[in-house]
Amino acid sequence: MWLVVWRYKYMIAAVTLVCGVVALLVAFTATPSFHAETAVTQVSNHNMSGAGALASQFGGLASMVGVNLGSVNGPAKEADGLLKSRMLCEEFVKRYDLRPILFKNAKHPPSLWFAVRQFQLAVLTVRDDKRSGLTIVSVNWTDPVVAARWANDFVAWRTKCCACARSLNRRPASRTSMTKLPIPTWSRSSA
């Protein structure tokens, strides 16, 4: 065995050197990516009779040990569905004018459809954590401050849309009512 290794020592050294150079090249030219997460839960305490309040307390105890007893809340499911909707992503991309940001090297900004698709596929992830019952909104971006801001603002935008829908007698929020909502503000802490 050592004779075979010794015979091909120059080939082994060349392959090792090429792989090392490629690894260094990738390491120094790769764009860093930062991951920001926001956990979302639905808080509801209306229509709580004695039995409902007791069941809610047991659900809270179960979630502390990592068991999800589930919920049948209609508004909670609608709110979580809104987080995954294309309409909310489209409004978010339009409000924050993300087309030029998502496609920096493009000569002409792509259509809104392509920008929303890129935002949903490459930047935003919405998943349900079955164990805790939370909805996790994740944003991947090259700047950690922007990633955190987008994650928080996306959830705030969803909250504004849900509030708007509730104020319209539980009818689904229309595009016209959503566009009149203010952009959520965000300020940096001095820490």
Cα angle value 173/89/154 (rounded, 5°): 90
- List C-alpha distances in Å: 102 to 17, 120, 130, 140, 169: 36, 11, 31, 12, 36
Q: Find how far residue 179's CA is from the centre of its chain.
A: 21
Domain ranges of the chain: 1-30, 34-179
Please state, in angstroms and rounded to a whole number, the distance separating the CA atoms of residues 36 and 150: 9
Q: Find how far residue 56's CA is from the centre of its chain.
A: 28
- In this prediction, residue 190 carries a pLDDT of 43
- In this prediction, residue 43 carries a pLDDT of 67
Cα angle value 123/129/130 (rounded, 5°): 150
Residue 119 DSSP class: I
- In this prediction, residue 129 carries a pLDDT of 84
- In this prediction, residue 120 carries a pLDDT of 93
- Sheet with 134-141: list strands edge to edge: 34-40, 134-141, 124-129
Please state, in angstroms and rounded to a whole number, the distance separating the CA atoms of residues 57 and 82: 27
Domain 34-179 falls under CATH 1.10.8:
no
Specify the amino acid at residue 100: P
pLDDT in tens, the chain (191 residues): 788 888 888 999 999 999 999 999 998 888 888 999 988 887 665 555 555 555 555 555 555 555 555 554 555 666 677 888 888 899 999 998 999 998 888 888 789 999 999 999 999 999 988 888 888 999 999 999 999 999 999 988 887 877 776 666 455 545 554 555 555 555 444 44
- In this prediction, residue 191 carries a pLDDT of 41
Spatial contact of 82 and 52, defined as CB atoms under 8 Å apart? no
Q: Can you tell me whether residue 140 is helix, strand or coil?
A: strand
Q: Can you tell me whether residue 86 is helix, strand or coil?
A: helix
- In this prediction, residue 157 carries a pLDDT of 84
- In this prediction, residue 52 carries a pLDDT of 53
